Chains A and B, each alone.
Chain A
Amino acid sequence: MSTDVTAKTPAPAPPGKSGSASGENLLQLMLDGLRRNMRQYGMLIALGLIVALFAVWTDGDLLLPRNVSNLVLQNSYVLILAIGMMLVIIAGHIDLSVGSVTAFVGAFAAVLTVQHDVAWPLAVVLCLVVGAGAGAAQGFLIAYLGIPSFIVTLAGMLVFRGFTEILLEGQTLGPFPSGLQKIGNGFLPETGPETNYHNITLLLGLALIVFVVVQEVRDRKRQQEFSLDVLPRNIFLLKLVSIVAAILVVTMLLASYKGAPIVLLILGGLVVGYGYLMRNSIFGRHIYAIGGNLPAAKLSGVKDKKVTFLVFLNMGALAALAGLAIAARLNAASPKAGLNYELEAIASAFIGGASMSGGVGTVLGAIIGGLVLGVLNNGMNLLSVGSDWQQVIKGLALLAAVGFDVWNKRKSGS
């Protein structure tokens, strides 16, 4: 492992301590880390509280295996959209068109597979291309022509909703071929010995645990190689154990019903992939940079226009994926599909720690935000709260989350 990249400037050597972080202030470091990520930990705790509250109010119905499975299926598309929306908002933009684009792509899929008998894998690919194209067209106007994203995507919201109705001639179109349906509401196949649990799901859960543990250990080793400070062994072990426990619980819950929904696997892949992209790729860094301080990013040589364009292209592709999942789950393309989904996605991102002015947020945050809304939805449904009050409560939840953030920032004086 080469470590040839070092600071090239020798020390100016003025007096003063060099402040290397050693063991004694490690606790301080962890507290600092906690304080910095207050928003995310805060939301994670809030999510835990909401889950606990509804679990009590519904006499445990919320955590029944069937309901957990349902919760995932119901919310997967908003979560998919929230990931893309997080990128858009971090870049300092907004996308109001995603609800319409999901409907449009669903309609397109129906026209392909139902009316023209196109093979479903081909249809999926075409749909993703069309979605990416819709995003790219809007991204071009925003990035290269400089039209504000709010305007472009507001127009896109109308345009693609209109196209959807034109494609479907105002009718609902279905049913889809069974292969496509699986994307929306399919589960992993059942095989192996009778264990009362879903075997493949259990195996996947175990594989995930092994993967995470290996990854964490390797990461720790590499940190040591670069002679950086690492977490003390016992805290590191504690961290590992809690991650493993969390994965185990979810796996067992899912495995004791029909197993892992296919869309959950897709979603999991997206979370890991996009999380890595935003954290570790040059492209991801550039998104944070243009959202955080555009003039500074430009003067650092970041190709801001290209980055903005790609962010919207990506949003379009994810909207297409979400559109496929909705259409497949409902087993029909409807002109009203995906209505207000852009708002749910935007709310998820802001609950999950995004900032109106851009530059802040994480993929995991978007998922947490989306889950807060999802659990609220699901829990209130179980308690048969009417959709009128559901909207009021979700609105207040958004306000509370962002209000807390503003208050917290003002308190810390930044």
Chain B
Amino acid sequence: MAGPVLEMRSIVKTFPGVKALSDVTLTVRQGEVHAICGENGAGKSTLMKVLSGVHPHGTYEGEILFEGEVCEFKDIRASEAHGIVIIHQELALVPYLSLAENIFLGNEHASRGFIDWRETLRHASELLRRVGLSEHPETRVADIGVGKQQLVEIAKALSKKVKLLILDEPTAALNDEDSGKLLDLILELKKQGITSIIISHKLNEIRKVADSVTIIRDGKTIETLDVKSEETTEDRIISGMVGRDLDHRFPERTAYEGESDAAPALEIRDWTVHHPIDQQRKVVDDVSIHVRRGEIVGIAGLMGAGRTELAMSVFGRSYGRHAAGTVLKDGKEIRTKSVAEAVDHGIAYVTEDRKHYGLNLIDTINRNISLSALGKVAKRGVVDEHQERQVAEGFRKSMNIKAPTVFEPVGKLSGGNQQKVVLSKWIFAGPEVLILDEPTRGIDVGAKYEIYTVIDQLAAQGKAVVFISSELPELLGMCDRIYTMAAGRLTGEFSRAEASQESLMRQMTKDKEVTR
């Protein structure tokens, strides 16, 4: 057994207000493929950013040893000089430059500042062959698919004489065929002596390529397992990922007793959506779900499961292309082709990305709250500012938004208070169905509790609530029924009684078999 090539010892990384990594230790052996898995937000990506120098030495505690020597990387260039290359989830290629230019970007074959094109092209085609691409090196990146772009990233890494390749969820955006090719390439590179770290939560992928797997939960290393060993079952990995006490507290929820004979408040049937650019790819694949009045229905899934895409495509076709399927409100089919239509039918979607899709950060609290339903505080197109202010003051008090006045720009509030503003905005619109997408992401425990209370009250008032979340304890604590999604498909439905972290995670990590 080869010795360790990388050791990360007791890494602690703190962001303002959050401890992202509290004690992580990672040992990677020479020449292996090492998988890291854990829930969203467990700290996987942060750990890799520490390793690659994105978070420079001095901003974290702990020690990194690479090939036996202590490393104190001050930026990415420093880690790359040692042969550690990270490929991020969002590819870092320039779309309108050629493959060759991208491969050597920042690292050009040049003499006295002028590019040696002959050498550039020769070397590029050699690297492209190594990763199994037959494209001409002068092809533009924009003209090849995402799967091939991923391979170009690897070619770029190879050009830097990579010894340790880090891939952050490399297959999240790929279809089955491209995923298979990529995984094969990782195995091929392993034969050539390149060590890889792959962050993934697709258990079948881990089984296929990895030699060992380290499980991280809540910023701590839980355990490292030998994948080839008999004892390392999927159940073992899953329980490692989720095995945590329910340390959040939830408001007492009276179990939902719905009139099951009435038509659901919202029903989505056979919903399919294609990726906006890669139009062959189905991001949501034949999904049918429903929610009744007074019910809180969860949708669990990992990154790339298609939950947000499902919600946004239903809400005024705000995502993707060729959305097909039926939306029924109280048993009657409705059109939701524009956001205005969806809102008119009493549907509200509270985005997971409040900064980009939820709020006008430079505008004030009162004007953000009223935006989606200005008609309610206006007569004949004229907004009654005083009435608007009164409404906003009402929400500021009832939602406990911490701000001196409602004239404070939303951008100056904390995450939790911003989230309360987004919620207020959509509650003010007076919807019958609320789709809440990660409503507690990035906010502190106290604010979470307040938001749970609000959600509970909305359901008690007879609103139908769809609750999308990556945090299983929160879904288990709040929902009457939970759907699971994986890779765009619905993979399970659980009643409150049936659902457990293990049973949900099993369905969330269920992917199609990767073809060898």
List A residues at the B interface (Cβ < 8 Å): 3, 5-12, 14, 16, 18-21, 25, 28-29, 32-33, 36, 222-223, 225-228, 279-283, 285-286, 288-289, 292-293, 295-303, 355, 359-360, 414
Contact = CB atoms under 8 A, between A and B. Distances in A.
Nearest to B449: A14
B404 A414 contact: no
A36 B407 contact: yes
Given A14-B400, A36-B407, A414-B412, A298 B382 contact: no
Contacts of B446: 14
A177 to B, nearest CB: 37
B68 interface: no
Interface string B388-410: 01110111111110111101010
A303 B375 CA distance: 14
B357 A18 contact: no
20 contacts: A5-B377, A5-B387, A5-B390, A6-B394, A7-B391, A7-B397, A9-B395, A9-B454, A14-B446, A32-B405, A222-B386, A228-B389, A281-B378, A282-B381, A282-B383, A288-B367, A298-B318, A301-B339, A303-B340, A414-B411
Nearest to A6: B394
Max chain B C-beta neighbours (<10 A), residue from A29, A36, A292: A292
Nearest to B430: A8
B393 A228 contact: yes
A302 B343 CA distance: 11
B378 A12 contact: no
A113 B356 CA distance: 52
B481 interface: no
Contacts of B360: 288-289, 292-293, 296-297, 359
B428 to A, nearest CB: 7
B175 interface: no
B478 interface: no
B133 interface: no
Given A10-B457, A282-B382, 9 more contacts: A3-B387, A7-B399, A7-B424, A12-B399, A14-B446, A29-B404, A283-B381, A296-B360, A355-B362
A28 B404 contact: yes
B344 to A, nearest CB: 8
A59 to B, nearest CB: 44
Contacts, number: 155
A297 B457 contact: no
Contacts of B425: 300
B363 A359 contact: yes
A98 to B, nearest CB: 26
B381 A299 contact: no
Contacts of A225: 386
A199 to B, nearest CB: 35
A86 to B, nearest CB: 16
B76 interface: no
B234 to A, nearest CB: 38
Nearest to A355: B362
Contacts of B396: 19
A226 B389 contact: yes
Nearest to A359: B362
Nearest to B389: A228
Nearest to B385: A280
Contact count band on B: 35 or more
A301 B343 contact: yes
B397 A11 contact: yes
A226 B339 contact: no
A293 B356 contact: yes
Contacts of A14: 400, 446, 449-450, 453
A223 B172 CA distance: 54
B357 A9 contact: no
A3 B390 contact: yes
A114 to B, nearest CB: 40
Interface in B170-202: none
A343 to B, nearest CB: 26
Contact of A21 (B381, B398, B404): B404
B328 interface: no
Contacts of A303: 340
Given A223-B386, A228-B390, A295 B356 contact: yes
Contacts of A32: 404-405, 407
A223 B427 CA distance: 24
B427 A9 contact: yes
A266 B434 CA distance: 48
A267 to B, nearest CB: 22
B371 A289 contact: yes
Contact of A16 (B315, B358, B394, B400): B400
Interface in B28-61: none
B363 A8 contact: no
A4 to B, nearest CB: 10
Nearest to B452: A12
Contact of B453 (A6, A12, A36): A12
A301 B409 contact: no
Interface in B118-141: none
Contact of B372 (A6, A283, A300, A359): A300
A122 to B, nearest CB: 30
Nearest to B364: A36
Interface in B322-349: 338-340, 342-343, 349
A300 B449 contact: no
Nearest to A21: B405
B389 A19 contact: no
A12 B381 contact: no
Contact of B361 (A7, A25, A222, A293): A293
A299 B340 contact: no
A111 to B, nearest CB: 37
Given A14-B400, A295-B356, A296-B357, A285 B362 contact: no
B351 interface: yes
B394 A7 contact: yes
A8 B383 contact: no
B387 A226 contact: yes
Contact of B409 (A222, A226, A414): A414
Nearest to B359: A296
B374 interface: yes
Max chain A C-beta neighbours (<10 A), residue from B343, B372, B402: B372
Given A7-B428, A292-B360, A19 B398 contact: no
A355 B360 CA distance: 14
B376 interface: yes
